[in-house]
Chains A and B, each alone.
Chain A
Amino acid sequence: MGERGYRSILGALFSVMLYYGSGFIFSGNGGTVFALLIGAAGTAAFFWVSGFGKRMYEAACLCLVGAAFGLSLFRGLWSGWLIRTTTEGEALLEYCGKPGMRLLFEGLMILAITALGYLLAGILQEFWRLQQILAAGLLAAVVASVFHSFPLPRHVFACVCCYAVMVACEWYERVWRKQKQSGERAYMTWLTPFFLLYILMVMFAPYRETPYDWNSAKRLWQNVTEGINYLVGGLFEGEGDFLLPASGFSERGGLFAGVRSDERIMLRIETGMTIPEKLYLGGKSFDTFNGREWTKTDESSAMDTTLDALELLYGVNRFDGEHQRDYIRINSVQVFFDKQKSKSLFLPGKVYQVHNSDSLPIYEAGGDIELERRKGYGFSYQSTFFRLNRGSEMFDRLLRENTWEEEPELWQKVQKELRVGQDFSIEDLRERQRRIAEVYGQAPELSERAMNWLTDVCGSRGNGYDRLKALEEALAGLTYTTRPGEMPKEICTPSDYLDYILFEKPEGYCAYFATAFTLMARSLGYPARYVQGYCVSGNSSEVRSGEAHAWPEVYFEGAGWIPFEPTPGYYETSYAPWKSMEDIAKEREEALKQQGQNYPGTTEEHREEQRTDPETPAETTETEDEAGAGPERLWQVAVILMILATVGLSLLMIELLREKRRRSRRDLALEYRETVGECFALLEQVHLGHKENETMREYGERLKQTKIPEKAFAFLERYEAAVYGSSVPTVEMLEQVKIGRQALYAVLEEEKGSLARFYKIKLYLYHKNS
């Protein structure tokens, strides 16, 4: 039962795999799944239960029954089975039409493949090594199919996996030392339900077309490691500030003795359009300075950020609405948190739309946009903002000359244009202006020295904006250092601080200069705030911790918060104004005049514009016809089979040589026992095996009644004595057994014909010890 059952199970597996392989080669489709599975299962069941698997013609009949059963089930026409068959049979007879031919072909193919599967299982059962090679080869082919995008049907893949597991299981069973009463094939047969369950589990396992995204795992890892870094940094380096050493950015507005430059990537950014100037991503703003540290008292939840953008747009439209694009342009930036861990969103100025990846609510707190909780790796958000044409004549003129006037209609129009999703009245804007003036406009008391210094720097400038520019330039002329050292403890007011930075130690890093500018801007009558965040190159995609920065922002009515850059080293490179449309038009005219051509599209520049869009999809090659791929696949399969056959034959040769060597080294007693074992095996092949509880004498008597020559089993008598008595095998006894073996080989050849050679090899390799 074990032999037949196991062979049937393997046969069913191979049938499925062969069917799909052949179906793929010949017809390009997978064929009928259930028909073949049920057909193969039905065949296996018949073999198993009936024990009719010994003769090939009986096997063929059973295959036919099984296949027909499967086909009819698939067709799903239980009640109309006969009609359908009859109809198609008639069609076949009368028309030789395609449906009938297809049915016939499919049926014949199923028969042939099921029989082939059973035969293959039989062969493989006799040669264990081949099973191992086949399993390894099939797994390798499955893996290779991924690399070559070979569309392998899931049921075939599941069968391959199951077969590999079965081979591994049998392999393990063969070396497993335990008390057994049956062979491994019976054992494997009775494990079939679990293998079937395994096939189903693998067949219906979920999958994705794309490789697995480990972001969630990466996120978790990042959060854990960053948490440790923040903790360690804050404890040992950050003077109690846990964020500063790890990220460069701090939620506190302290002026430290020094900062370190780091290359850790905190954020990744993608801008909608390339920005040539520096991009300032503000994280947190502050309003009150006590001489040593900035704090934030403004916790207003008003939509300050959006109002700021609206105010700018309103101011620009009022000032010079026709040339809006010369002052501001819309851009977007997407920010991804990498090693950053913060609840502040780092945004450029003049933001009017923000969307985050986790759809978390965002809050405004005194002009800063924050989350409820800190987020880390994997979090992202996108914002739309106005890019300012800072450094351009036009924008400077806006800041210099713009005045505040209320035009409600324009205000409404601007809101409609921006579509911020909320209506703000002009009173809201007024209220905001009042609040800003109150919170951010408190001018510090300057010492006489500082006042003189400020007057010297700004005095000659008539316009407020020019004075601020002069101040910016003056501070940018001081010395930049990341290690300014600890501030004296006596400094405890803004006035003390300004005296210190201007006269005692005119050096520091960005925070020092930003602080000085903010305080003095207020002294000049302008509301100003201190902002911390990151400053990166506009075309950069990574924001590193060393790019953390602090800068001042000054409030202009009709323009909102405008950033300044007083930090030495940053001042020179912070602005990259774009040309106005008028200037561009003038340049084009100049160019045309120089080239002496009228058509604007013939200049080199315009030819460049008119070049083929590189994004235009290239002409695609013709899709290969599936039928054309058939011969190639056939060739591939043939190559694989040849390789497998070569490897198999090589291994077989090796096994034979090893066995030959082993046989040459065995002693007499072992040779005698093994030769006797071979004789018993041969007798079993000719259906004259030794029965249980039968003595050797009885066995010999029984054999005498058959057509087996007596010399074939003459060794039994002396064998009995050797087993149960004390006699030791002699050379003579061995010779007798060998003669018996030869005689039995002859009987086997007579009975099996050419297949006898097959049995001889099997016996040679898998002798039995009696």
Chain B
Amino acid sequence: MKLKGWRNRIIWGVCLILSLVFISFYGGAVSYGLFFAVVFLPVLSMVYLALVFFRFKIYQELEGRNVMAGEAVPYYFVLQNEDWFSFAAVRVRMYEDFSYVEDVPGHREYELLPGENFRYDTFLVCKYRGTYPVGVREVTVKDFLGLLSFRYKLRDGFEAIVRPKLIRMEHLKSLKDVEPLFSPVGGTAKTEYDLSVRKYENGDSLRRIHWKASAKTGELMSREMTGEEKQGIAILLDTVRYESRPEGYLALENKELELFLALGYFLTGRKVSFDAFFEDGEGKRHVERIDSFPGFDHLYEEMCGLEFSEDGNAERFFSSVGVGTLSGYQSVFFVVHTWTGWLEKLTLQLQDRGVQSVVYVVTDKDGEAYSPFSHPGRRVYVYSTRAKLEEVL
């Protein structure tokens, strides 16, 4: 196959050698003319390719620039010859890293005479949330002599703004043990102070501080809430960017957001209120109280534009939320990329306070390594970036 592609070049090379031998022994217009006739062929090819490079047009359109990840959107591209000479062979290559085109033409070459065009209607699927170029990536043009080809990146490509995929779940397999906790009437937080006091923890309300005990012990002490059961669910999202290259972070962030939104949507559907904690790209902490679909829609819009930050620090974020704040919830869900010691410590602290923790780790590493961390008070689930949440969640 490779030799076939080089056939014309080999023939040209042989002709060149023969012409060189010819002019070594014979002078005159014809022998030199033959030499230049061979030499000028690649020159002619280059001129032709240069013209095609400047004159070839591709038009492409995506139905709606805002698409949802995983959704097949109508897309078409048109190869157009608006010029006065034939385009011998044009081949296109699509972006494949973060999106793909269904029934892509592949290695097909197109010949376009003046005025001709070739339209290809298909569907485009963006795999991940984000803003990135889609559609035609490169164009390869070949000359009519089969000597030279020129590949170039499309100058006028376009980008798609891809929203995260919203997975609608009826049940969460990972939470079947604790599903009763998600009933609208289940789970309440304690409302009365207990007799027991404990050390002050970051995030504890000032009203809970037991000043007398604090004066006695010399350090701040907080009252333990008792009475009714804790209520409310918190979902914390790790928004740290762990890779610098899009090939590394897009899939990961996409999966985290999907998971986060799938959980949120599930809870909203069950009419279970929850608080969503996350940091934006500038390091500012956000807390969104979601108790209805409009609220969830607002959260979704925020997630669409959410920027993960390379400067972010998960430990810092979770610490800023604090055990004290989280202790007020019945269950806390963590959507993270890495399982660290501080996360383990945090979840243990929550467990001590009777808060159920569920940690979703999105990683491509072996999930078996995380199974020792799971126990009744704390569940750890591992999903890869390629996991189909509809099936595993």
Is the beta-carbon distance between B40 and A205 smaller than 8 angstroms?
yes
- Which of A146, A191, A197 is the one whose CB lies under 8 Å from B144? A191
Partner of B41, one of A146, A165, A180, A181: A165
Residues of B within 8 A of A95 (CB): none
Pairwise interchain contact A181-B116, C-beta atoms closer than 8 A? yes
The docked-state distance in angstroms from the alpha carbon of A176 to that of B48 is: 18
- Of A167-175, A247-255, A752-760, the one contacting chain B is A167-175
**B44–A202 touching, CB < 8 Å:** no
Say if the beta carbon of A724 comes within 8 Å of chain B: no
- Nearest-CB distance from B58 to chain A (Å)? 15
| Segment with Cβ contacts to B, from A206-214, A485-493, A730-738 | A206-214
> Is B85 interfacial (CB-CB < 8 Å)?
yes
Contact A182 B113 (CB under 8 A): yes
Which stretch, B24-32, B218-226, B264-272, B277-285, touches the partner chain A?
B24-32
* CB-contact partner of A187 in B22, B36, B111, under 8 A: B111
Question: Once the chains bind, are A154 and B26 in contact (CB under 8 Å)?
Answer: no
Q: Is the CB of A202 within 8 A of B85?
A: no
Asked if B111 and A211 make an inter-chain contact with CB atoms under 8 angstroms apart, the answer reads no
Residues in B with CB closer than 8 Å to A197 are 44, 47
Over the window 560-603 of chain A, the binary record of Cβ atoms lying under 8 Å from chain B Cβ atoms (1 yes, 0 no) is 00000000000000000000000000000000000000000000
From the candidates B34, B85, B89, B110, name the one contacting A194 in the complex (CB within 8 A).
B85
Q: Looking at the assembled complex, report how far the CB atom of A90 sits from the nearest CB atom of chain B, in whole angstroms.
A: 41
The answer on a CB contact under 8 Å between A181 and B34 is no
A residues near B43, Cβ cutoff 8 Å: 201
Interface residue? B70 (CB, 8 A): no
CB distance from B47 to the nearest CB of A (A): 7
Are A157 and B32 interface neighbours, CB within 8 A? no
A127-167 near B? 1/0 per residue, CB < 8 Å: 00000000000000011011100001010011001000100
What chain A residues lie within 8 Å of B85 (beta carbons)? Answer: 190-191, 193-194
**B373 at interface by CB-CB < 8 Å:** no
Task: Let me know if A198 is at the binding interface, CB within 8 A.
Answer: yes
A179 within 8 A of B: yes
Set B23, B33, B118: member contacting A161, Cβ < 8 A: B33
A17 CA to B145 CA, complexed, in Å: 23
Interface-centre pick from B25, B26, B33, B145 (highest chain A CB count, 10 A)? B33
Q: Out of B33, B40, B113, B116, which one reaches A154, CB within 8 Å?
A: B33
Which of B23, B31, B41, B116 is A182 in contact with, Cβ under 8 Å? B116
- Residue-wise interface mask of B (293-337) relative to A, using a CB-CB cutoff of 8 A (1 in contact, 0 not): 000000000000000000000000000000000000000000000
Chain B positions 38 through 76: 1 when the CB is less than 8 Å from some CB of chain A, otherwise 0: 001101100110000000000000000000000000000
Q: Does B344 contact A (CB under 8 A)?
A: no
Identify which of A165, A190, A208 contacts B86 (C-beta below 8 A). A190
Query: Is A178 positioned at the interface, with any CB of B under 8 Å from its CB?
Result: yes
Q: Are B111 and A146 in contact (CB under 8 A)?
A: no
A187 contacts B27, CB within 8 Å?
A: no
> Is A190 in contact with B8, judged by CB distance below 8 angstroms?
no
**A205-B40, A211-B24 known; A179-B116 Cβ under 8 A:** no
Which residues of the other chain, B, contact A157 by a CB distance below 8 angstroms? Answer: 29-30, 33
Chain B residues contacting A161 (CB-CB under 8 Å) are 33-34, 37
Shortest distance between the CB of B18 and any CB in chain A (Å): 9
Contacts A194-B47, A205-B32, A207-B33; A178 near B111 (Cβ below 8 A): yes
Within 8 A of A (CB), among B102-132: 108-114, 116, 118
In the complex, A643 has a CB within 8 A of chain B: no
Contact bitstring A271-296, B, C-beta under 8 A = 1, else 0: 00000000000000000000000000
**Which of chain A's residues 189-231 have a Cβ closer than 8 Å to chain B?**
190-191, 193-194, 197-198, 201-202, 205-212, 214
- What are 26 A-B contacts defined by CB distance under 8 Å? A142-B30, A143-B30, A143-B34, A146-B28, A154-B29, A154-B33, A157-B33, A158-B37, A161-B37, A181-B118, A182-B111, A182-B116, A190-B84, A194-B44, A194-B47, A194-B48, A194-B144, A198-B44, A201-B36, A201-B44, A205-B32, A207-B28, A208-B32, A209-B27, A211-B24, A212-B32
Top 9 closest pairs, chain A to chain B, by CB: A207-B32, A205-B36, A178-B109, A190-B86, A210-B27, A161-B37, A212-B23, A179-B110, A180-B111
